[in-house]
Amino acid sequence: MNQPQVHATALIGNGVTLGTGVRVNAFVNLYGCQVGDDCMIGTFVEIQSDVKLGARCRIQSHSFICSGVTLEEEVFVGHGVMFINDRHPSVQGALRRNWTLSPVLVGAGASIGSGAVIMGGVTIGKGAVIGAGAVVCKDVPDGATVAGVPARTLARS
């Protein structure tokens, strides 16, 4: 078996499972997540609890993947991508004490460009392409290419 390679500066919290052949780079924080076989996690990435990464995903540096996100196999996440799991974090300026987790599903083979923001509660279809800097506020169909703020469909395969 090909053992995971974890940089000495990475913080691997309780409940983390790493598949075979996983590479975790410097200054990564992982908490209670599942990382599939042959994934690569770049420098300065944080992945929170209840996140599932399928096999052969690639997470580039400075990305944040919050609780409730599932990436199917072979998903690419560019530099500085931000996932959000709460569509309504405050009410009239006050922090909400009881909020509902809004899960995100990213289909197999999807690619998310650098600096994109993925709002809670959306599904990104298989093979979809998210342009750099896009803000994804609604579901993206399989094979679609979206870009912009808010993200709009540019093409479908």
Residues contacting 6, CB < 8 A, separation 6+ = 12, 18, 22, 24
**58 vs 73: CA distance, rounded Å:** 10
Active site residue 7: no
How many residues does this entry show for the chain? 157
- Strands 23-24 and 29-30 come out as unpaired
**123 vs 24: CA distance, rounded Å:** 26
What are the backbone dihedrals phi and psi of residue 111, each rounded to the nearest 5 degrees, phi first? Answer: -130, 130
Which one of the listed residues 7, 62, 79, 88 is annotated catalytic? 88
If phi > 0 it is left, if psi is from -120 to 50 it is alpha, else beta; for residue 9 that is alpha
Pick the closest to residue 44 from 30, 22, 27, 58 (CA basis): 27
Catalytic residue ranges: 88
